[in-house]
Structure 1
Amino acid sequence: MPQVHFTEEKATMLATLYGRALDARRDRPVLGDTAADDAVRRIDYDFTKLGVTRDSSVSVAIRAKAIDDLAAEYLHAHPDAIVLHLGCGMDTRADRLDPPPAVSWFDVDYPEVVALRREIYPPHENRTAIGSSVTDFAWLDRVPSDRPVLVVAEGLTMYLTPADGAELVRRIVGKFPEGQLVFDIFSTLGIKAQKLNPVVRRAKATLHWGIDDPHELECHGVRLVSSLDATEWVSDEAFARLPAASKLALRVTGLIPAVRRMGRIARWEF
């Protein structure tokens, strides 16, 4: 079994992996990512110390499902697209989406994360893993630019500085002819409240980039298509599968706009 010794934000991707695994073990999972459960069982790591519980894992699964749905919509309309899965961690999103064979999929994360992926997950045609910090923009030179692009980033933007985040968007817009960006984002209140997040606190990670209005990114060459807050990204089907405590928490969250908007999933196009 591969051993893992990640620090700071690199360890937080193990928390989301564990969250998806715990969801998969439920009788009525939201995401049903059995590959995540298999990966957790194959990695030599004490996942229980990450601060993810059976109840909190539901929020991980809901967010992933909402992003999957948006990504699937784009790939249905662009079956030959390039996909940039940024800060991919140990996510098996490509397996869940099963994109058309003409799609070229690129998973991008730190070299040690990519090395772990290669130990755990088998290679797949039309999928390439790039070991690099997302903000070391030389990795973009390894990606073709002759087709529309879908850029997916889950649990990444808040760890970037505002300057790095803006530069990432500008470089993507400058490289590709057209595309969409699907990011989850935190508000500035979400950044200020980061130590209330047990995963962030236990990993001793630091969040930087808060976005109160997703239109803010439009000055970098994109146009906002949609923005879903923490209550809106839960489908009726997913809500029906939630435990009673999670349903109550969502209803209470919906009553407080500032709290409801601490986390959003936004989609832009260019």
Structure 2
Amino acid sequence: MNKINPQDLIDKNPIFESMFAPLYFKASETLRSDAIITDTKAVEMIDLLDHDFSYFNKNTSGQFLVSVRTKILDSQIVEFINKTENPVIVNLGAGLDTRFSRMNSDKIKFWYDIDLHEAIEFRRKFYSDTEKHTSIGKSVLDYSWIDDIEKDASYNYLFIAEGLLMYLHEDEIKNLLREINNNFPSSIMICEVFHTKLVNYHVKNKAKNKDISFTWGISDTDDLKLLHSDIIVEDEWNMFDYHKNRQKIFVRLLVRLSPKFRNMVKLVKIRFNKNNNG
């Protein structure tokens, strides 16, 4: 297969560069002797890209956090698939996520990867749609994607919002949660959330020398309940509670001394409990 140059995509919009960071981190992590995760598809995809992403190597904390969240999410999704009849997975803001390749379960009824049209077109260089696995090229805020999801009363839905919500505004998140709640009652979402201390934190875009800012965060998990009355928080995982042997000494010290730092990045599992007031 010929090498694929992503530069045109990256030049279109700084946000697209953020798709390649987790892919590169997962590939790099896989090659470590003490790897937290194994993602051979990510290694394969990075090898096919005609681009030097080595500038991501400086972000060791990013690689650690992506690896930990990937391990936790994979575990939770496998558990959902194994324990649920007719599981349907909807991956919001999927980018170049490789998770479907790792699941390898015949139990999955449908799997949808949703992202902006340009992102999905690039994604299709590596993945072709199948009857079970479909990519949808729409913004997660363009709720016409809901019409593209197979619906049946016997299906059980799990939504993934990984590396997404921190780029949205609170009103957009409220609307997203409302639409999911109204159309997929009793579904589950596992979402990555940042602390409010990270709002306005700038991520440098190398290609265009522009910054991408995080626009939303919470100070406490209970804040999620303020976004929609029908949300039930079922579980949460603080990233810095895991694989402490891979954390820098000053990070471990900050986690021990500061609850706010410990809560900077976490995954939260919520259940939608649609009532008559929907």
TM-score per shorter chain, which class?
0.7 to 0.9
- Mark the runs of 5 or more structure 1 residues left unpaired by the alignment: none
Q: Residue 172 of structure 1: SS of its match in structure 2?
A: helix
Report the CA distance between 1:58 and its aligned residue.
Answer: 2.5
Match of 2:239 in 1: 230
- 2: CA distance, partners of 1:25 / 1:199: 25
Find the structure with the greater CA-based Rg: 2
Aligned length: 260
Q: Residue 124 of structure 2: SS of its match in structure 1?
A: helix
- Out of 138-147 and 34-43, give the one that drifted further: 138-147
Same amino acid, percent of matched pairs? 26
Match of 1:45 in 2: 51
Match of 2:127 in 1: 121
- 2: CA distance, partners of 1:249 / 1:122: 44
| Letter matched to residue 161 of structure 1 | H
Contact 1:166–1:217 (CA<8 Å) still a contact in 2? no
Report the CA distance between 1:123 and its aligned residue.
Answer: 4.1
Match of 1:265 in 2: 267
The 5-angstrom pairing of residues 1-270 of structure 1 reads 1-4=3-6, 5-6=9-10, 7-50=13-56, 52-53=58-59, 56-146=62-152, 147-192=155-200, 194-195=201-202, 204-219=211-226, 220=228, 221-232=230-241, 234=242, 239=243, 242-243=245-246, 246=247, 248-255=249-256, 256-270=258-272
Deviations 1:207-262 (A, max 9, x none): 11112223233342210001222323x2xxxx28x54xx26355223221111111
Report the CA distance between 1:103 and its aligned residue.
Answer: 2.0
Q: Aligned pair in 2 of structure 1 residues 69, 250: CA closer, same or farther (>3 Å)?
A: farther
Q: Which has the higher contact order (CA 8 A, sep 6+)?
A: 1
- Per the normalisation by structure 1, the TM-score is 0.88
| Letter matched to residue 4 of structure 2 | P
- Mark the runs of 5 or more structure 2 residues left unpaired by the alignment: 273-278
- 2: CA distance, partners of 1:56 / 1:8: 18
- Per the normalisation by structure 2, the TM-score is 0.85
- 2: CA distance, partners of 1:129 / 1:212: 33
Report the CA distance between 1:104 and its aligned residue.
Answer: 0.6
Q: Residue 69 of structure 2: SS of its match in structure 1?
A: helix
Q: Residue 158 of structure 2: SS of its match in structure 1?
A: strand
